[in-house]
Amino acid sequence: MTHKCLCSDKYSNENAVKNPHLAGLENDYLYHIALDTETMNLVEAFGDTKFVCMGGSPKKMYMFAKYIMEEIGHKLPFGTKLLDISEKGDRYSMYKVGPVISVNHGMGCPTIGILLNELIKLMYYAKCKNPVFFRLGTCGSIGSKPGTVIISEDACDGMLQKEYSIPVLGKLLTRSTELDKQLWQELKSLSLPDDEFEVISGTTMCTNDFYEGQARADGAFCDYTVEDQINYLKSLQRKNIVNIEMESTAFAAFTKAAGIKSGVICLSVQDVLEGDEISVPKEVMDKWQARPQILVARYIKQHLD
């Protein structure tokens, strides 16, 4: 049995949380990001947040924090350095650079789902006005060369359903994975002719597994032929599925449910039609990681007050 979650299309702080029980809490401890409502002034610390950018690894999001600090001209007080706000939580690394939060989300929907719950509550408690969330990720592309930047128009699960489902009280709760059309179109328009990379868009497939779930033939288990694999991947391509990763359905579903405008921008690290192994040299990969960040930085700079 399934039931649909009704979501507002209005982007406002008032619609950020959909939990009447929060009003009865004396202290809401955002356990995994090491913040709370009783001992911290979240409005003072986070109330000016306009953009929340997240990606898989702590190192990448630390580097993004440094990059966006330079791009928006934010200056730290003399003698200080970037602080990992969530270090005591020992789960995520989070930095705040002026109106921008940079935080890592780990791998997979469960990990990003935990983070999103607590970030959405943080936006609510801090009284943030119309924040925009971004996922800066990596992916396997279907038919596009490594190094391509791929913007998600929407996201589907491994069964090709454009929804995210979790069992709740023994029933399947299903949420839409629609992404903001105006946002992904604007992100795509920020690509410049002299950029060293191509930008494409389409549907992103989000899987619960890196190996069999993504039709790889190089995991510990595989019960299909390479021919089966390629035929399946080509069938995805015909459905305008342009890339595969592991977080977009949860990201899209939770942000839409909260009425938060959001976008997914990924770097392709391999064309899955050309093989399973990721063979891009590390020094090249490190350089490519900046590509999705460039588009997001352009968006942020255009929308700063």
Both tokens assigned to 82: 């970037």
Order of strands across the sheet that contains 2-4: 2-4, 171-176, 163-168
Would the annotation count 135 as a binding residue? yes
As a whole number of angstroms, the distance between CA 176 and CA 262 comes to: 13
Q: How far apart, in Å, are the Cα atoms of 132 and each of 11, 34, 52, 135, 297?
A: 9, 22, 6, 10, 13
Would the annotation count 238 as a binding residue? no
Q: What is the DSSP letter of 17?
A: -
Identify whether the C-beta of residue 61 lies closer than 8 Å to the C-beta of residue 115.
no
Would the annotation count 214 as a binding residue? yes
Residue burial 119-133, b: 16+ Cβ < 10 Å; e: rest = bbbbbbbbebeebbb
Identify whether the C-beta of residue 100 lies closer than 8 Å to the C-beta of residue 51.
yes
Distance between alpha carbon 168 and the CA centroid of its chain, in Å? 23
Tell me the angle at which helices 109-125 and 248-257 cross, rounded to the nearest 10 degrees.
30
Binding-site residue positions? 91, 135-138, 214, 216
Residues annotated within a binding site for phosphate: 91, 135-138
Binding-site sequence positions for substrate: 214, 216
